[in-house]
Amino acid sequence: SRRITVRDIAAAKERGEKWPMLTAYDAMTASVFDEAGIPVLLVGDSMGNCHLGYESTVPVTMDEITILAAAVVRGTKRALIVGDLPFGAYQEGPVQALRSATRLIKEAGVGAVKLEGGERSADQIELLVRSGIPVMAHIGLTPQSVNAFGGYPVQGRGEEAAQQLLRDAKAAQDAGAFAVVLELVPAELAAEATRSLHIPTVGIGAGVECDAQVLVWTDMAGLTSGRVPRFVKQYAQLRETLGEAARAFADDVIGSTYPAPEHAFH
């Protein structure tokens, strides 16, 4: 069976079908999500926080995204793999964006790329799309701008900010994006954007009326340490489960109950 493509994504919106998206950063986890039928996997620059131990997504490099995206592609058969363009890999302009996106397509084998910005990234989106590279845009809270935002506040509150968000959504669509992520946007505004676009919206902290929903997988599965944002629903408690497994293994080793006779060779 073939991979999901951006044409399947467009058809889903026409049929009014919703779809889930998760992040993935390695082949093994990606294969679990692929087998579970998640149609779109994002090799997000959130790997900076949850996988590489950085404080934000800002330090993530093209080398890091490319290596992990290649692993996710190798671990999957059916999902559309979207690779994030990290901070600094497309802000210089369309030509830099094309160089970065081309590298992800050729070296990692992703089927699409994602970048942050609507109006401000329209020229980049347009050149990539003209070059045959499907682009997912990302507006609202754009974490690569954390230093400008001074944190991770909800976006699009107030009339002026709401109008800007709708302009960003429209600009992404007009530039040729096949979908647009709405992050940390009031639910009513996200619903309005979703109704006004013919491309699907992918919500994260943006209410139930988006066409699709995305979560960072380590948040979704309860592996993240400490507090998770209010919009996250945890579908498992992997941090607890994995910690218990590690403690049980340690106890067995210290108490000489592992390896047992059936684990030994003679």
Active site members: 183
- For 86, the token pair is 């990290």
Using CB under 6 A, which of the segments 37-45, 72-80, 86-94, 166-174 binds ligand KIV?
37-45
What minimum distance in Å lies between the beta carbon of 256 and ligand KIV?
43
Which one of 4, 13, 25, 44 is in contact with ligand KIV (CB under 6 A)? 44
Positions in 37-76 near Na ion (CB under 5 A)? 44-45
The rounded distance, in Å, linking the Cα atoms of 235 and 36 is 14
Binding partner at 103 among ligand KIV, Na ion, none, C-beta below 5 to 8 Å by kind: none
Stretch 82-101: interaction string toward ligand KIV, x if CB under 6 A: --x-----------------
Stretch 214-243: interaction string toward ligand KIV, x if CB under 6 A: x-x---------------------------
What minimum distance in Å lies between the beta carbon of 181 and ligand KIV?
5
Binding partner at 23 among ligand KIV, Na ion, none, C-beta below 5 to 8 Å by kind: ligand KIV
Binding partner at 181 among Na ion, ligand KIV, none, C-beta below 5 to 8 Å by kind: ligand KIV
Nearest Cα neighbor of 115 from 156, 153, 96 is 96
**Does residue 181 bind ligand KIV (CB under 6 A)?**
yes
What minimum distance in Å lies between the beta carbon of 214 and Na ion?
10
Annotated binding site for Mg(2+): 45, 84, 116
What minimum distance in Å lies between the beta carbon of 68 and ligand KIV?
11
DSSP the chain: -PPP-HHHHHHHHHHT--EEEEE--SHHHHHHHHHTT--EEEE-TTHHHHTS--SSSTT--HHHHHHHHHHHHHT-SSSEEEEEPPTTSSTT-HHHHHHHHHHIIIII--SEEEEE-SGGGHHHHHHHHHTT--EEEEEES-GGGHHHHTS-PPP--SHHHHHHHHHHHHHHHHHT-SEEEEES--HHHHHHHHHH-SSPEEEESS-TTSSEEEE-HHHHTT-S-S---TT---S--HHHHHHHHHHHHHHHHHTT-SS-GGG---
Q: Which residues contact 238 (CB under 8 A, 6 or more apart)?
A: 218, 221, 222, 223
Tell me the residue type at 184: L
Closest CB to ligand KIV among residues 133, 256:
133
Closest CB to ligand KIV among residues 85, 171:
85
Annotated binding site: 45-46, 84, 114, 116
Binding site for Na ion (CB under 5 A): 44-45, 84
Please report, as ranges, the residues that interact with ligand KIV according to CB under 6 A.
23, 42, 44-46, 84, 138, 181, 204, 214, 216
